[in-house]
Amino acid sequence: MGSLLVKNGTAIVNGVSVNTDVLIENGIISKIGCCLNGNGIKELDAGGLYVLPGLIDEHVHLREPGLTYKEDFGSGTSAAAAGGMTLVLDMPNTLPPTDSAERLIEKKEIVGRKSHVDYGLYGLVRDTSEVTEVIRMINSGCIGFKSYMGPTTGNIPAPSHGTLYTILNALSEADVPLVVHAEDDGLIKLFTEKANKSDILSHLNSRPYVCETFSVGELASLSEYTGAHVHVAHVSSAKTVKIIGWAKMNGIKLTGEVTPHHLFLGSKIYDTAGNLAKINPPIRSEEDGKALLNAVSNGIISTVASDHSPHTVEEKIGDSPPSGFPGLETELPLMLDAVNAGKLGLSDVVRLMSENVARLFGIYPQYGSLLPGARGNITIISLNSRAKINAEKFYSKAKYSPFDGMELKGKVVYTVVGGETVYDGEVHDDIIGEFVKGK
């Protein structure tokens, strides 16, 4: 754990911009205030820059174990550091999937030696899940659980309604959230059969918005009945926003996450990027993106995450391209560009990508804040600098992006994890992050 005095920055504290210093001692924020003296502690001059609580990406696929030719924890967390992320929460659809306490512990032992930022691990809820194993995974430190209601990498069967109800009852009692990829398997199969396989938009046609809204409607009912917190991953449709808004008004613990690609791209991207932009759920209309952006700004959608889901370029341009693309190194610059365009405030970015995430997983204020006693994780950004996205220079193994070549205003300058500067224009891969347990 490191010690660092961040001087002369403009910090976002409780949603307010404050000109202040931040002192980190032995990995923990000890003081925040003007004109602090570090008594010889290493100083970082943040003059002209914004100091944010360490940003958290709640939705990454770092592909380890089993799929490390696509990505591994070393390359993936290097990408995270370069993207301003101080904590990543890794999904369980690896090979083998993280569906037991033993596999969770084994995964932690494998990846913990190479994670350059802090990390948490999801457990999987699948068709064969049982309450006893779910409780064992909670006791072993999993940050939360993930379930897939439709086809996904790893070919994991969706849980039945009975299994989902039983597990949600247990998660409600434990106060642990279930994050769900909400696209109905049966409807996807139906529309896939109808889709024109030769059309570049066939993937979009095979997963219309009703696949998502149907699944989210069921989840809202189960959340209301069990009292469990269900968090809908990568919301893609304006129709889904209405369901989540209705749930919020009625006190149901149904919340939503959105990705930058669903916010800022429209389906026209398929004309230029083709299958490099193929992802689940698909990128929809510009009108959907506008509705999602409105939902982010008004609080109906509570978090933003990358859904970093890398594959090799060869896979993406092949005959059967998988869904997914890297996002860890583009998500924050895209959000900062939106701030500069007046679409969001910088305090919104902190709320959506730090504080709300930490609250969702029960780790606030140790994470997601700049309060004394919090982990010394800080993201330092410039709103004035311009940079062009260059996928060839990604730290991720997946060196492509539908955003490649886009010039954005706003960039990451420093990423600090536990008082150690892991990124300052380059990643310092000798720094190793900590495992973050759930509740």
Neighbours of 276 (CB within 10 A): 21
Taking alpha carbons only, the member of 196, 303, 284 closest to residue 244 is 303
Q: Which residues of 351-383 are buried (b: 16+ CB within 10 A; e: fewer)?
A: bbbbbbbbbbbbbbbbbbbbeeebbbbbbbbbb
Say which residues have a Cβ less than 8 Å from residue 324's Cβ, sequence separation at least 6. 61, 153, 278, 279, 280, 307, 309, 310, 311
DSSP 217-268: HHHHHHHHHH---EEESS---HHHHHHHHHHHHTT--EEEEE-HHHHH--TT
β-pair type (50-53, 4-13): parallel
- Spatial separation of the C-alpha atoms in residues 33 and 365, rounded to whole Å: 18
- Spatial separation of the C-alpha atoms in residues 71 and 253, rounded to whole Å: 33
Is 307 a residue of the active site?
A: yes
Please give the angle made by the CA atoms of 293, 296 and 297, to the nearest 5 degrees.
Answer: 90
The whole-angstrom distance between residue 159's C-alpha and the CA centroid of its chain comes to 23
153 contacts 324 by C-beta, under 8 angstroms = yes
List the beta bridge partners of residue 232.
Answer: 180, 256
Q: Is 333 helix (H, G, I), strand (E, B) or coil?
A: helix
- Spatial separation of the C-alpha atoms in residues 368 and 52, rounded to whole Å: 9
- Spatial separation of the C-alpha atoms in residues 231 and 253, rounded to whole Å: 8
Q: Residue 314 has which token pair?
A: 């060869």
User: How many Cα atoms are found within 13 Å in the side-chain-facing hemisphere of 199?
Assistant: 10
Say which of 21, 99, 288, 307 is annotated catalytic. 307
- Spatial separation of the C-alpha atoms in residues 123 and 89, rounded to whole Å: 11
Taking the CA atoms of the chain, what radius of gyration do you get in angstroms? 20
Residues marked as catalytic: 307
